[in-house]
Amino acid sequence: MWYGIIHYFRKFFNSCWRESTRQLLFYCEVLPMAYLVDQQTIMFYKRLQSSENIVLRVLGRLRHDAIVACFSKYGIRSLRSSVFDIKQTIWLNFV
């Protein structure tokens, strides 16, 4: 599926298959798929740990090592950061 999106970016902007789509993604303000997956993973764990349901909070803490790996990759300090700050940090890491 991701290849299809890149294909349409290239077709829409009339670029060659050898050219990088990184600039196209930047100007359209779209993150690459790997960044989107990491962003959604971080947001998922943030929702789990801020849930009012105790079972969900415990499940969120069980996978703490996985979320710390994503945090360290982008330089995010904790889940207490705002959603905007997390998204902005990931975007700046892409840029």
pLDDT band at 88 (very low <50, low <70, confident <90, very high): very high
Domain that holds residue 4: 1-29
pLDDT at 77 over 60: yes
Q: Is 12 in the same domain as 58? A: no
Number of domains in the chain: 2
Give the burial class of 48: count Cβ atoms within 10 A of its Cβ; 0-12 exposed, 13-18 middle, 19 or more buried. buried
pLDDT at 3 over 70: no
Rounded Cα distance between 32 and 24, Å, is 11
pLDDT band at 1 (very low <50, low <70, confident <90, very high): very low
Q: Is 85 in the same domain as 58? A: yes
Tell me the average pLDDT across 61-72.
80
The dihedral sign for the CA sequence 87, 90, 93, 94: negative
Q: Is 23 in the same domain as 38? A: no
Q: Is 94 in the same domain as 53? A: yes
